Homo-oligomer: A and B are copies of this chain.
Amino acid sequence: MASEHPPISAPTISDVAAAAGVGRATAARTLGGYGSVSAVARERVLAAAERLGYRSNILARSMTTGVTNSLGIVVADIGNTFFSGLIRGASDAASARNLDVIVISTYEDLAAERHAVGVLLDKQVDGIVVSSAAVGAPDAEHLAEATRRGTPVVLIDRLVPGLHLDAVVVDNRAEARRVTRTLIEAGHRRIGFLWGPTTDTGIDTLDELLTVNTRSLWSDAERLRGYLDALQDAGIPYAPGLVTTGAKTEESAARAALAMLQSEDPPTALFATEAEALIGALHAVQDLGLSYPGDVSLVGFDDTSWATVMQPPLTMIAQPVDAMGRLAVEQVVSRIGSPEYEPRLHMLPAELMTRSSIGPPSRVPGAPTASAGKA
């Protein structure tokens, strides 16, 4: 039942100060939580603020302080569960710190990524987490530039060779090597690799493959190298037809798997580098009336809940998406505090979820050494 004319627009600090009978600065200090104010003054200000329903205008605050309490996160595809898992971890960590998150999807397009970073910089976010489409430092000038200008950026999921920034990734090469070895130990020698580098020129030699691989995303390139490492460890020669070179789509993976499986000397195991690729592989296997692990063994990156419900359940590599997201924002936050230390590389372990899609090879290929392994 008051008398003071309620301001038509939202109350400002001046309104509160006036209502409390103190100067603007005092009101600002108590409301902004800085400087020091006497207990009495604080009480009166708080009461007045409460009464007026005061909410600070954070745009104005951000303009003068330069901090927006928001983080940008740019990923390839929000709709992909790997990335949405990352985002989930990141945004949980962010809200725990009272930061909010602006999400942008680039669909692996570098131009879109540059634009996204520009938007974020314009918005004056306090930091950026990005899973970049850049395959090398020259592509990533926008990231280097942002850092230089004072907005910390941390890479997530993918490193960019030549770019020294904080990063949170999984050791893709080691993980790929490990599963491939698992396959080899089960007796496999012909292992199909789904989602090798995309290229239209045929790849015949290992050298060519390695060269082309250089132009792939770090994570993809690393997985291929890990696969190749394991092959080499076991003295198995590289077989051109077993590494895919098509587009990275489910359909393309299905076609490639189909072709491999129908070839004269088909693979006895398939390693899929991504959930989508695995689904493609499964389609191929099913279309051919094959079963796993009887006819072909199967493994894939990026574990999901449906893997447990497949018959038989799928053995998968589980990346710690939630932890990666959290760690990335923690890293970016600590970088905001103290910008000048060496970039930190966080390599998190992945976990091989052993289930039942790996078995012994269905047949013994040319080489005589084959069936020696286990039995």
A81 touches B81 (CB 8 A): yes
A254 to chain B, nearest CB (A): 10
Measured between beta carbons, the chain B residues less than 8 angstroms from A56 are 122
Contact among B78, B79, B124, B279 for A59, CB-based, below 8 A? B124
Q: Which of A74-117 contact B (CB under 8 A)?
A: 77-79, 81, 84-85, 87-88, 91-92, 95, 100-105
Supposing A104-B91, A305-B279 touch, asked if A79 and B84 sit within 8 A by C-beta, the answer is: yes
Complex interface: chain B residues within 8 A of A103 (CB): 87, 91, 101-103
Cβ–Cβ contact A122 & B306, under 8 A: no
A13 to chain B, nearest CB (A): 14
Q: Are B95 and A88 in contact (CB under 8 A)?
A: no
A78's partner among B63, B84, B311 (CB-CB below 8 A) is B84
Tell me if A276 counts as interface (CB < 8 A to partner B): yes
Q: Is A309 an interface residue (CB 8 A)?
A: yes
Q: How far does the alpha carbon of A111 sit from the alpha carbon of B122 in the complex, in Å?
A: 31
Are A122's CB and B91's CB within 8 A?
no
A356 within 8 A of B: no
The 0/1 profile, CB within 8 Å of B marked 1, for residues 298-334 of chain A is 0000001110111100000000000000000000000
Residue interface bits A38-76, CB-to-B below 8 A is 1, else 0: 000000000000000001111110110000101000000
Residues of B within 8 A of A84 (CB): 78-79, 81, 84, 87
In the complex, A57 Cα to B79 Cα: how many Å? 31
> Closest B-chain residue to A283, C-beta based?
B309
Question: Within 8 Å of chain B (Cβ to Cβ): is A286?
Answer: yes
Nearest to A250 among chain B residues (CB) is B305
Residue A344, interface by CB 8 Å: no
Given A122-B55, A286-B309, does the pair A100, B105 have CB atoms closer than 8 Å?
Answer: no
CB pairs A–B below 8 angstroms (13 shown): A55-B121, A58-B123, A59-B63, A59-B123, A59-B124, A78-B84, A78-B88, A79-B84, A81-B84, A84-B84, A88-B105, A91-B105, A279-B305
Additional 13 contacts, C-beta under 8 A, given A59-B63, A59-B123, A101-B104:
A56-B122, A70-B123, A78-B84, A78-B87, A79-B85, A79-B87, A84-B87, A92-B105, A102-B102, A276-B305, A279-B306, A283-B309, A310-B310
Residues of A within 8 A of B (CB): 55-60, 62-63, 68, 70, 77-79, 81, 84-85, 87-88, 91-92, 95, 100-105, 119, 121-124, 250, 276, 279, 282-283, 286, 304-306, 308-311
